[in-house]
Structure 1
Amino acid sequence: MRRIFGLALVLVLLAPPAVAATPPGDQPLPGYTIDNPPLPPAQVGGEPSRVLQGVHEHAAYTIEVPPRWNGRLAMWAHGYRGATTVLTVDPPAYGLRQKLLDQGFAWAASSYYANAYDVKAGVLGTHGLAKHFHRLVGKPRDTFVIGVSMGGHVIGRSLEQFPGFYRGALPLCGVLGDQELFDFLVDYNLTAQALSGIRAWPVPKDYLTAVVPRIQAELGLTGVPNERGAQFAAIVTNRSGGPRPGAAPAFTFWKDFLVALAASASGEGLAADPGQVATNALTRYEPNAPVDVNRAVQRVLPENLRARLTPKLTEVPRIVGRPTAPVLSLHGLGDLFVPFSMEQVYQRDVRRNGRGDLLVQRAIRAVDHCEFSPNEVGAAWDDLVTWVDTGRRPAGDRVDDPAVVAAPDYGCRFSDPTAHTVPGNTRRLFPAC
Structure 2
Amino acid sequence: MRPLRSLALLALVALAGTATAQTSTAPQPRACPAEVPAGATCHIGEDGLGGFYWIALPAQWKSQTGVLVVHAHGGPADTGPATLARGEEDLKRWAVTVKAGYAWVGATYRRGGFGVSMAAEDTERARRVFVKHFGPPRRTILHGQSYGASVAAKGAELYAMVDGPNGPVKGPYDGMLLTSGMLGGGTRAYDFRMDLRVVYQYVCRNHPKPDELQYPLWQGLPMDAKLTRAELAARVDECTGVRKPAAQRTEQQKANLANIVNVIKIPERSLIAHLNWATWLFRDLTQLRLGNRNPFNNASVQYKGSTDDAALNAGVLRYTADPVAVAELARDSDPQGRINIPVLSLHAVNDPTAFVELESAYRETLERAGKGAMLVQTFSDESEHSYLSDPQYPALFTALLNWIDKNDKPTPQTVAALCKGYEAAYGDTCKLLPDYRSAPLASRVPLR
Normalising TM by the smaller chain, what interval?
Answer: 0.5 to 0.7
Alignment pair present for 1:259 and 2:275: yes
Over residues 275-306 of structure 1, what are the superposed CA-to-partner deviations in whole Å (9 max), with x where a residue is unaligned?
9533324544344774224444322233x643
Q: CA RMSD in A?
A: 4.3
User: Deviation at 1:386?
Assistant: 1.6
SS in 2 for 1:331: strand
Partner residue of 1:392?
408
Over residues 205-225 of structure 1, what are the superposed CA-to-partner deviations in whole Å (9 max), with x where a residue is unaligned?
6793896467538xx994677
What pairs with 1:211-290 in structure 2 (closer than 5 Å)? Answer: 212=236, 216=240, 222=249, 230-237=258-265, 251-265=267-281, 276-287=294-305, 290=308
Partner residue of 2:175?
168
In structure 2, what is the Cα distance between the partners aligned to 1:230 and 1:159?
40
Partner residue of 2:132?
135
Asked whether the 8 Å contact 1:362–1:414 carries over to 2, the reply is no
Question: Could you say if the C-alpha distance between residues 270 and 128 of structure 1 is closer, same or farther in structure 2, counting changes exceeding 3 Å?
Answer: farther
Asked whether the 8 Å contact 1:195–1:291 carries over to 2, the reply is no
In structure 2, what is the Cα distance between the partners aligned to 1:182 and 1:286?
18
Partner residue of 2:377?
361
Asked whether the 8 Å contact 1:363–1:414 carries over to 2, the reply is no
SS in 2 for 1:109: strand
- Give 1:97's aligned amino acid: T
Asked whether the 8 Å contact 1:72–1:141 carries over to 2, the reply is yes
- State which of 173, 185, 189 in structure 2 corresponds to 1:178: 185
What pairs with 1:26-41 in structure 2 (closer than 5 Å)? Answer: 26=23, 38-40=30-32
Partner residue of 2:200?
192
Asked whether the 8 Å contact 1:159–1:323 carries over to 2, the reply is yes
User: Deviation at 1:190?
Assistant: 1.5
Alignment pair present for 1:202 and 2:216: yes
Over residues 130-154 of structure 1, what are the superposed CA-to-partner deviations in whole Å (9 max), with x where a residue is unaligned?
2333322323343211122221111
Alignment pair present for 1:309 and 2:327: yes
Partner residue of 2:4?
none
- Give 2:326's aligned amino acid: R
Asked whether the 8 Å contact 1:150–1:175 carries over to 2, the reply is yes
Query: 5+ residue gaps in structure 2?
Result: 1-20, 161-169, 209-214, 429-448
Question: Could you say if the C-alpha distance between residues 117 and 286 of structure 1 is closer, same or farther in structure 2, counting changes exceeding 3 Å?
Answer: same
In structure 2, what is the Cα distance between the partners aligned to 1:223 and 1:330?
39
Partner residue of 2:70?
75
Q: Percent identity?
A: 22
Asked whether the 8 Å contact 2:79–2:111 carries over to 1, the reply is no
Question: Could you say if the C-alpha distance between residues 64 and 352 of structure 1 is closer, same or farther in structure 2, counting changes exceeding 3 Å?
Answer: same
Alignment pair present for 1:350 and 2:366: yes
Partner residue of 1:98?
98
In structure 1, what is the Cα distance between the partners aligned to 2:305 and 2:369?
31
Partner residue of 1:300?
319
User: Deviation at 1:355?
Assistant: 1.8
SS in 1 for 2:351: coil
Over residues 8-45 of structure 1, what are the superposed CA-to-partner deviations in whole Å (9 max), with x where a residue is unaligned?
xxxxxxxxxxxxxxxx96479xxxxxx99813499999
Partner residue of 1:126?
123
Query: 5+ residue gaps in structure 1?
Result: 1-23, 29-34, 241-250, 398-410, 423-433
Larger radius of gyration: 1
User: Deviation at 1:257?
Assistant: 3.0
Partner residue of 2:14?
none
Query: For this pair of structures, how many residues does the alignment match?
Result: 357
- Give 2:73's aligned amino acid: H
Asked whether the 8 Å contact 1:42–1:49 carries over to 2, the reply is no
SS in 1 for 2:355: coil
Question: Could you say if the C-alpha distance between residues 264 and 331 of structure 1 is closer, same or farther in structure 2, counting changes exceeding 3 Å?
Answer: same
In structure 2, what is the Cα distance between the partners aligned to 1:42 and 1:263?
35
- State which of 340, 346, 351 in structure 2 corresponds to 1:330: 346
Question: Could you say if the C-alpha distance between residues 63 and 192 of structure 1 is closer, same or farther in structure 2, counting changes exceeding 3 Å?
Answer: closer
TM-score (norm 1): 0.67
In structure 1, what is the Cα distance between the partners aligned to 2:80 and 2:133?
29
- State which of 318, 323, 346 in structure 1 corresponds to 2:334: 318
- Give 1:73's aligned amino acid: L
SS in 2 for 1:107: strand
Asked whether the 8 Å contact 1:75–1:145 carries over to 2, the reply is yes
SS in 2 for 1:394: coil
In structure 2, what is the Cα distance between the partners aligned to 1:132 and 1:254?
37
In structure 2, what is the Cα distance between the partners aligned to 1:286 and 1:396?
34
User: Deviation at 1:356?
Assistant: 1.7
Over residues 240-263 of structure 1, what are the superposed CA-to-partner deviations in whole Å (9 max), with x where a residue is unaligned?
6xxxxxxxxxx1222233334333
Asked whether the 8 Å contact 2:72–2:106 carries over to 1, the reply is yes
Question: Could you say if the C-alpha distance between residues 346 and 312 of structure 1 is closer, same or farther in structure 2, counting changes exceeding 3 Å?
Answer: closer
Over residues 158-216 of structure 1, what are the superposed CA-to-partner deviations in whole Å (9 max), with x where a residue is unaligned?
11111142221112212112212321111112123345688966357679389646753
SS in 1 for 2:140: strand
Asked whether the 8 Å contact 1:42–1:98 carries over to 2, the reply is no
In structure 2, what is the Cα distance between the partners aligned to 1:298 and 1:267?
18
- Give 1:57's aligned amino acid: G
Over residues 223-250 of structure 1, what are the superposed CA-to-partner deviations in whole Å (9 max), with x where a residue is unaligned?
677667545433322xx6xxxxxxxxxx
In structure 2, what is the Cα distance between the partners aligned to 1:118 and 1:294?
33
TM-score (norm 2): 0.65
